[in-house]
Structure 1
Amino acid sequence: MTLEVYRGDLLSRSREWTGLHDDELRRRAVRAAAEKDAPQLVSLTVAYLAHGGGSGVLTSPRTVEAYALGVRQYTEYAADQAVGVLRPGRHDAQGYVNAMLAAGRQPAGVGLKVAAASCLYRALRWAGACEADPFKDVRVPRDPTSGIVKRPPYSEDELADVIDCADVQARFLLFLTAHAGLRISEALALDWADLDEVARRINVRSGKGRKGRIVAMSSSLGRACRQYRALYAPGGPEHMDGKRTTPAERVFRYASVMTARYHIEKAFRKAGATFRGFHPGRKYAGTRLLRQIKDFGRVAAHLGHASVDTTRKGYAQLAADDLKDDLTGW
């Protein structure tokens, strides 16, 4: 299976479809669906996201990639199971969901695949190719186990060991995720002007849903930031060492999440720890801060969550005996 790589901006990618006459748009969409042509169906879905999606041309590249993968997987399933894309049977959509669950996929992951397949059908309706909406009434069971239990945060000892083994750049990135609680995409998008070590503030301009926020630095993060700036900021000894692939105003030289992951994984291996992604660092920040201030609302603001429920279910956890001091003397 080949992942559709994000190339260029959404507007330019969508012109393959939006430049067509309505009749030709419909004809090409019908043919792509009838032939189960995955690349063309992905292309059509991307065009719809640019013109009919909630975020339009500002849809994030990661969302585009996730939907591209989901459309490809649904198309492959439809081909293997002889499902008519334009005229699916009454039970075909739920059958797709049940097949993923039976194969061991977690409900949350199945929900993402359903979202991608639903977007494909919105794109087909947008193109006038069909009126089908097979995923409208499908049911994906809820997982009763919270996200923080299934995918727990890094422990204090894990992070301490890795930070001791990390180079200056990897250490700074770890502090940004595990203390400031930044998403990896937010950290890699930082410019030098976004960092204020004196006031210990970070200006996150590219948060999820394009929401900006101001994030406080911990004392350790402030020190790591000063050390990193001394080496890698414009004019620093490591700024133009021939390895930079990002613009000079960008804080990190990592041009992609995959490159950042490669360097962080080296530090984890050196420390004898298992790298489980960047999100367990955010969960560490949420859990540690919640146990300190016991306020889900403030923790949600720190992590950039629109809903406190997101923080409560997947990012922050109080100790089981958190109330013992409050109950003393009852």
Structure 2
Amino acid sequence: MTAPEGLLLQWRDHLATNLRRSPHTVRAYMAAAKRLVNASGAQDWNALAALGARDLRGHLASRRSEGLSNASAACELSALKALLAFARTQTGSPDAPPPRLRGPRLKKGLPRPVTPDDAENLADGVAAMAREGWIGARDRAVLYLLYGAGLRIAEALSLTGADVPLGEVLVVTGKGRKQRQVPILPQVREAVAEYIAASPWPLDKAEPLFRGAKGGPLNPGMVQKAMARARKALGLPDTATPHALRHSFATHLLGEGADLRSLQELLGHASLGSTQIYTKVDANTLLETYRSAHPREAKD
């Protein structure tokens, strides 16, 4: 094993074990770290800890010349800053000032919600198009948790047998291991119960609730693929993703009069600023409805 390989393995173990980052985040951070290590020629933590803003700026400029977008550049910079912070802890200088480098300015786009009818049609569509009945019931239950309870897909797939049968309130562990209480509608409870009844796998309190075809933990990619097939069949845009169902949950609640603080708690947002984007979404939806329905606008 070469010295750079040892650095990368240590970084991966820190991300996965100490920080408990998701597999997706670990892969992304590892890829960014490998590119920087290879480009800089660093052989140990001291060499990495010595890298400064000029080094990162030059590295990112090279990446941008390869066609890296603003959003991807911002993500890569965040990953590299985390790597260099870890390098400083490994060299005994955790309090050393980090490289002062700002990421590219990002234009924040609005989430694209689906209508309540489309959300229900998508859930029914994935069930109807699945190759086995229990798989269809599984995917339908997952989508109901996203739209009916506002869960992130990772939160839904982290549920175990200990979480069922679902009651009127579910305790969800979200980002940063922060827990929140989420009301569960009867339709959501029914969808999950139907999946449990149809599943060929035993319900174990210590095992994932949602299983893959071979009995292992369900990969979120399988749900995304099932929804992609359903939205194509329904003629819905590519923006109709599993995460869009969570956006729809928030937008529709706001449209029915929910206040931002309550919505923040339901979504598990760390800051109110993350929730405030839905006020823009709701206004945007109302404007589109007005333009399509108003006689004068329709005439124009």
Do the structures match in fold with TM over 0.5?
yes
Distance 1:99 1:211, change over 3 A: same
Deviations 1:129-157 (A, max 9, x none): 999979621121332x334x2x5233445
Pairwise CA distance, 1:121:
1.8
Pairwise CA distance, 1:182:
0.8
Which residue number corresponds to residue 136 of structure 1?
A: 99
SS in 1 for 2:182: strand
Pairwise CA distance, 1:252:
0.7
Which residue number corresponds to residue 273 of structure 2?
A: 309
Q: How does 1:40-119 map to 2 (within 5 A)?
A: 40-49=6-15, 56=18, 58-78=20-40, 88=51, 91-101=54-64, 105-119=68-82
Cα distance in 2, alignment partners of residues 253 and 321 from structure 1: 36
Q: How does 1:33-44 map to 2 (within 5 A)?
A: 37=4, 39-44=5-10
2:112 pairs with 1:152: yes
Which residue number corresponds to residue 292 of structure 2?
A: none
Letter in 2 for 1:260: V
Pairwise CA distance, 1:169:
1.4
Which residue number corresponds to residue 187 of structure 1?
A: 156
Distance 1:113 1:216, change over 3 A: same
Which residue number corresponds to residue 208 of structure 2?
A: 250
Gaps of 5+ in 1: 1-27, 233-237, 324-330
Cα distance in 1, alignment partners of residues 266 and 78 from structure 2: 28
| Aligned residues of 2:64 and 2:73 also touching (Cα < 8 A) | yes
Deviations 1:90-149 (A, max 9, x none): 622123334445655444432221122122222333333999979621121332x334x2
SS in 2 for 1:182: coil
2:84 pairs with 1:121: yes
The percent identity for this pair of structures is 27
Of the candidates 208, 212, 225, which is equivalent to residue 175 of structure 2?
208
Cα distance in 1, alignment partners of residues 284 and 21 from structure 2: 40
Of the candidates 133, 140, 147, which is equivalent to residue 171 of structure 1?
140
Which residue number corresponds to residue 280 of structure 1?
A: 244
Which residue number corresponds to residue 298 of structure 1?
A: 262
Distance 1:322 1:89, change over 3 A: closer
Pairwise CA distance, 1:187:
0.6
Gaps of 5+ in 2: 42-46, 128-136, 288-300
| Aligned residues of 2:125 and 2:230 also touching (Cα < 8 A) | yes
Distance 1:85 1:248, change over 3 A: closer
Which residue number corresponds to residue 223 of structure 1?
A: 190
Which residue number corresponds to residue 298 of structure 2?
A: none
| Aligned residues of 1:111 and 1:140 also touching (Cα < 8 A) | yes
Pairwise CA distance, 1:317:
2.3
SS in 2 for 1:44: helix
SS in 2 for 1:306: coil
Distance 1:118 1:225, change over 3 A: same
Distance 1:126 1:50, change over 3 A: farther
Letter in 1 for 2:282: L
| Aligned residues of 1:154 and 1:281 also touching (Cα < 8 A) | yes
Letter in 1 for 2:176: G
Pairwise CA distance, 1:188:
0.8
Point out the structure with the larger helix share: 2
SS in 2 for 1:91: helix
Distance 1:40 1:257, change over 3 A: farther
| Aligned residues of 2:160 and 2:209 also touching (Cα < 8 A) | yes
Cα distance in 1, alignment partners of residues 228 and 16 from structure 2: 35
Deviations 1:211-255 (A, max 9, x none): 1222112343233233223323xxxxx345xxx9x9875321132
Cα distance in 1, alignment partners of residues 220 and 285 from structure 2: 37
| Aligned residues of 1:207 and 1:304 also touching (Cα < 8 A) | yes
